[in-house]
Structure 1
Amino acid sequence: MSHPRYAAAAALALASIVLLSGCTAPQDAFTDLRGDRERRDELPQLAEYAYDDVEVSTSRFVGEHDGTSLWLALGREDSGICIVADAGEDAWVVGCGGETIKIGGIAGTYEVLPDAATAPEGATKVSENVYAW
């Protein structure tokens, strides 16, 4: 195999590992998703398309920050972990990603990290896995 082809193959293999490792978010990596669901864990009613990538049956309410209510849930298929931030009216955002995700918008800025991760600098801890700015 020529050097350029070898380099391209190695880069492709590395990219695949990085992408695949970010696509799974096992429920046991997030303390906030453990335990039995309660009534408050139900997601709020948002736009019809808001939960297209969210496995709604796994949602858990994780707290509030500056008037915004927050939930975590597993994503559908390869969507990893999802966060729902709802500040009422039309001020909401839903984001899904790998094992870590950061979202921002009118409802605030939030980051989701698995249990073993280091807390982001300057952030306020909302729950075991969610941080806010």
Structure 2
Amino acid sequence: MAHGSVSIARMTAGLVLALSVAALSGCAAFTTGYAVLDREAAPADALPDAFVEQDSGDVADLSSARFVGEHSGSSLWLLRGVDQGSICMLAHQDETVGNMVCGGDGGPVEMSGPAGHFVTVPDDYPTPDGATRISDNVYALSP
């Protein structure tokens, strides 16, 4: 009888291990990311001097900035937030018109202001309804 208890315990441990591996694999399948932030920085990724002078880097990691495109006079960058699991988007027109927003990296982060109305989404996320594609991760929205 003791041998049977050991066998049941081993089977239970094996089942728990298998379920744990399956659960972790499932989580990895739904992991979101922003491939643009994983590429090497290029000269075009440099943030505007006026923004760098005004921003202390308390919210976003300025060295992670990657230029993603332009729309209606606004230049757009994605950056990693200083808080783990956050993403930031900067829209900049000139020294007087620009804004930045940060949010969780697992879903859309929307911004609306004088520089425009934009949304950032993780890789392989569905295109927002009625949006104009600027890059794989950034879309312009109608006001």
Same fold (TM over 0.5): yes
The alpha-carbon deviation at position 50 of structure 1 amounts to 6.7
Does residue 127 in structure 1 map to residue 126 in structure 2?
A: no
Q: Distance in 1 between matches of 2:34 and 2:101?
A: 16
Please give the per-residue CA displacement for 1:43-79, whole angstroms capped at 9, x wherever unaligned.
1122624743010111100000011000001000246
| SS in structure 2 at match of 1:57 | helix
The alpha-carbon deviation at position 116 of structure 1 amounts to 2.2
Name the counterpart of 1:80.
86
Name the counterpart of 1:112.
120
Given that residues 32 and 127 in structure 1 are in contact (C-alpha distance below 8 angstroms), is that contact kept between their aligned partners in structure 2?
A: no
Q: Distance in 2 between matches of 1:84 and 1:51?
A: 13
Name the counterpart of 1:23.
none
Is the alpha carbon distance of 1:130 and 1:118 closer, same or farther for their aligned partners in structure 2, counting shifts above 3 Å?
same
Amino acid at match of 2:126: T
Q: Distance in 2 between matches of 1:121 and 1:76?
A: 30
Instruction: Determine which structure has more spread, i.e. the larger CA radius of gyration.
Output: 2
List structure 1 runs of 4+ shifted beyond 6 angstroms: none
Q: Distance in 1 between matches of 2:79 and 2:40?
A: 13
Higher RCO (CA 8 Å, separation ≥ 6 residues): 1
Amino acid at match of 2:47: L
Q: Normalising to structure 1: TM-score of the pair?
A: 0.73
**What's the Cα RMSD here?**
1.8
Q: Distance in 2 between matches of 1:126 and 1:72?
A: 12
Is the alpha carbon distance of 1:104 and 1:72 closer, same or farther for their aligned partners in structure 2, counting shifts above 3 Å?
same
Is the alpha carbon distance of 1:98 and 1:34 closer, same or farther for their aligned partners in structure 2, counting shifts above 3 Å?
same
Q: Distance in 2 between matches of 1:79 and 1:54?
A: 12
Aligned to 1:60, which of 42, 56, 66? Answer: 66
Is the alpha carbon distance of 1:109 and 1:77 closer, same or farther for their aligned partners in structure 2, counting shifts above 3 Å?
same
Greater helix content: 2
Q: Normalising to structure 2: TM-score of the pair?
A: 0.69
Name the counterpart of 1:35.
39
Identical pairs, percent: 36
How many residue pairs align between the two structures? 107
| SS in structure 2 at match of 1:29 | coil
